[in-house]
Amino acid sequence: MKISPLVPADFPDMPDVKGLKIKTYEARVVYKNRDDLLLVKFAQGTQVAGVFTKSRTRSASVEWCVKHLASGAQGRLLMVNSGNSNAFTGAAGERSVVGILSHLAEKFSIKSSEIYTSSTGVIGELLSGQDLLDVVDVDKVSAVENAYIAAADAIKTTDTFAKYATRSVKIGGERVTINIIAKGSGMIAPDMATMLSYIFTDANISKNALQKILNVAVGKSFNSITVDSDTSTSDTVLLFATGASDAAHIDDAGDVRLAEFVAATDELCLEMAQQIVKDGEGATKFITVKINGAEDDRAAKVIGLSIANSPLVKTAIAGEDANWGRIIMAIGKSGEMADRDLIEIAIGGVKITQNGQVVDDYDETPVTQHMQGQYVDIDVNLGLGGGEARVYTCDLTHGYIEINADYRS
């Protein structure tokens, strides 16, 4: 496995979040000599919000979470294992989820409906759960210095680095902490590289407000990244609020006291989403596609994703080729409203087209220079309306083919 040249240089220290306890274990489901099981125990009354893959073939764990989240269940435990996704294992897979969670519920004296769970790893192989339960039963917890870094490590599959971030913000004068961990190696491969992210806070916020805040944050971050347009059967983002800080209870997502919290949650999700793209196997460049002037925000995002998903655009960027014709093509094929003669395209801040043709004195030199860097910025103004969006992706390289052409062996 290649280490992406885009790995961040600095990682933060991770403070505690009140009202939860993290343990990681070496359950040896598939991986050896590393932790592969994460348990997080939450205080009574912890509120949960979640966003899940829209796949029509999603895994038993995702179905479980969706069902209990909808019923309004509080979160008392989060269990995540890596190595085996238990996806596409039919009725037997569903029974195994029920079996594992019933056992954990009994052990921790909670209801199984209060347990949220994800599994990530090879698909099509039944997760028996015995290994998991054995290590939990003897409480064979790993010795770790920082629980959040251990947690981020335990949920990795093909990731080349652990992904985590933190913010400290005030709600009505009281300080709360928000920690996030994530995994996903950008390829969004269904077997192993599922995108998972968990957000932990000691803020005291209602379930409905949390869900609204999470929906907006995910739309601008995890749902605005693409590596190869493929979607996992297990993608999950969960937000847990223990309420254990001194901050007052807040019921409404629009409450002005939540301004800092909302902004910090947006930032954390975006940071994790960008790290997932940067960890894309084969990725050598991080690409930001900004769309302005679209019919509306929805259209802007569809156009942005059409550019970011185009193999022709992504291979051109890998080759540091300022091939703006492929951007025009990708706008055209998106199916969204576009007027050829109004489209303005800039790369690296240098305007290339206007009035439906190349600018008069177009000099490709500064554009090519920009494309030789690790960060490539594409700006498109459709000149139609106020719709805007930002989408993030990476280039399509030989490394991607190498890794994915024979991944399982």
How remote is the C-alpha of 389 from its chain's centroid? Answer: 18
Q: 308, 226 in Cβ contact below 8 A?
A: yes
Structure tokens given for 183: 């995994």
Write down the least CB distance from residue 227 to its own copies, Å. 9
How many angstroms separate the first and last alpha carbons of the chain? Answer: 13
42 vs 52 by CB, closer to its own copies: 52
Question: Near its own copies by CB under 8 A, which window of 149-157, 200-208, 323-331, 370-378?
Answer: 323-331
Site mask for its own copies (CB under 8 A), range 232-261, x = bound? xx----------------------------
Residues 30-69 that bind its own copies (CB under 8 A): 53-58
Binding to its own copies in span 118-157, by CB under 8 A: 122-124
CB of 286 to its own copies, least distance (A): 17
Judged by CB under 8 A, which of 5, 172, 254, 319 binds its own copies?
319
Contact 29, 79 (CB under 8 A): no
Q: Which is nearer to its own copies, 176 or 322 (CB)?
A: 322
Q: Which two tokens stand for residue 334?
A: 């998106």
CB of 65 to its own copies, least distance (A): 16
Among 331, 347, 378, 391, binds its own copies (CB under 8 A): 331
Burial class (CB in 10 A: 0-12, 13-18, 19+), 349: exposed
CB of 41 to its own copies, least distance (A): 31
Q: Is 172 a binder of its own copies (CB under 8 A)? A: no
**Catalytic residue positions, numbered:** 194
Cβ nearer to its own copies, comparing 119 with 353: 353
**Using alpha carbons only, what angle is made at residue 193 by residues 187 and 199, rounded to the nearest 5 degrees?**
110
Using CB under 8 A as the binding rule, the residues of this chain from 202 to 231 that contact its own copies are: 228-231
For the bound state, the minimum distance from the C-beta of residue 160 to its own copies, rounded and expressed in Å, comes to 19
Distance of closest approach, residue 386 Cβ to its own copies, in angstroms: 19
Q: Is 315 a residue that touches its own copies (CB under 8 A)?
A: yes
Angle of helix 90-108 relative to helix 60-70, nearest 10 degrees, comes to: 50
Q: Compare residues 37 and 318 and give the one whose CB is closer to its own copies.
A: 318
Find the binding residues for its own copies in span 332-371 (CB under 8 A): 332-338, 340-341, 343, 353, 355-358
Interacting residue with its own copies among 266, 295, 296, 321 (CB under 8 A): 321
Residue 409 beta carbon to its own copies: minimum distance, rounded to whole angstroms = 7
Give how many residues touch its own copies by CB under 8 A. Answer: 71
Strand, helix or coil for residue 174:
strand
Among 156, 278, 301, 326, binds its own copies (CB under 8 A): 326
Residues listed for the chain: 409
Helices (H), 241-355: 259-278, 297-309, 311-318, 324-333
Answer yes or no: are the C-beta atoms of 87 and 62 closer than 8 Å. Answer: no
- Which region among 26-34, 161-169, 255-263, 397-405 touches its own copies (by CB under 8 A)? 397-405
Residue 111: count of CB within 10 angstroms of its CB: 15
Q: Tokens 């703006």 appear where?
A: 324
Percentage helix, strand, coil for the chain under 3-state DSSP, each rounded to 5: 35, 25, 40
**Residue with Cβ nearer its own copies (51 or 330):** 330
Judged by CB, which is closer to its own copies: 38, or 123? 123
Contacts of 42 (CB under 8 A, 6+ apart): 19, 20, 74, 75, 76, 77, 78, 240, 242
Selected binder of its own copies within 120, 197, 274, 310 (CB under 8 A): 310
Please say whether the dihedral angle defined by the alpha carbons of residues 209, 213, 218 and 219, taken in this order, is positive or negative: positive
Number of H helices, E strands in the chain: 11, 15
Closer residue to its own copies (CB): 177 or 310: 310
**Torsion of Cα atoms, 283 then 12 then 262 then 280, to 10°:** 10
Pair of tokens at residue 197: 């992210």
Question: Closer to its own copies at the Cβ: 228 or 279?
Answer: 228
Bridge partners (DSSP) of residue 25 are 37, 141
Of 112, 100, 39, 104, the closest CA to residue 71 belongs to: 112
Q: Of 162, 189, 276, 389, which lies in the binding site for its own copies, with binding defined by CB under 8 A?
A: 189
Q: Which of residues 95-124 bind its own copies (CB under 8 A)?
A: 122-124
